[in-house]
Chain A
């Protein structure tokens, strides 16, 4: 079986992982309630999308 010839230093591991990260979602502003929302999706706050209320946002108590 092939095996690694040399041990990796911690620095090498760290350098490799320097580019491993998540990027935050780019958010757009809801034109109705001006909250941040995900683009191309109905606004979870006010339930509007493209100038029309499309979702029930009022929560049942």
Chain B
């Protein structure tokens, strides 16, 4: 009987829920951190922990069991190559869920869930993103300046008016 075995149903039927959880777990293993709702993060936590336990075992049987749940070969490789060995001295508690606020459309509470020990990787990734963003902003500013220069050079009265207003 299923007495007292309640978990999160997430408003889905069994197959839909299982597919969702497989996708979430595979993405988390590949990305180290994913952003989702609090309910989904909590629902996926036991599944991720089970996968990491497989990753720590590292034998072929564990590999096949993990492969039967995860959605891609890359995720399995990453689980057994990088994620599993990281937690050799830790018995569970591999994940961190931090609430980040509420979604605008429906007010759902958002959170990110990340693998503990991924801080370095994530910080590096964030720095890289910031660099890309800064570069893009610079380019946009440059092109805007060029456009303005072109306007001032070609359009006589219109550009002149704009200049007067800004001054």
What separation, in Å, do the CA atoms of A61 and B129 have in the docked complex?
14
What separation, in Å, do the CA atoms of A44 and B101 have in the docked complex?
7
Within 8 A of A (CB), among B46-82: none
A41 lies within 8 A of B99 (CB)? yes
* Interface membership of A33, Cβ < 8 A: no
List residues of chain B with CB within 8 A of the CB of A55.
100
A42 lies within 8 A of B119 (CB)? no
A-B contact number at CB 8 A? 28
B129 lies within 8 A of A54 (CB)? no
* Interface membership of B126, Cβ < 8 A: yes
Give the interface size bracket for B toward A: 10 to 19
Q: Who on chain B is nearest to A41 by CB?
A: B99
A54 lies within 8 A of B112 (CB)? yes
* Interface membership of A40, Cβ < 8 A: yes
What separation, in Å, do the CA atoms of A61 and B101 have in the docked complex?
22
Contacts A41-B101, A56-B129 given; 18 further ones with Cβ under 8 A? A38-B99, A38-B101, A40-B99, A41-B100, A42-B98, A42-B99, A42-B100, A44-B100, A49-B98, A52-B119, A54-B98, A54-B100, A54-B112, A56-B126, A58-B130, A60-B133, A61-B137, A61-B140
Q: Which 6 A-B pairs have the closest CB atoms?
A: A41-B99, A42-B100, A42-B98, A49-B98, A44-B101, A60-B133
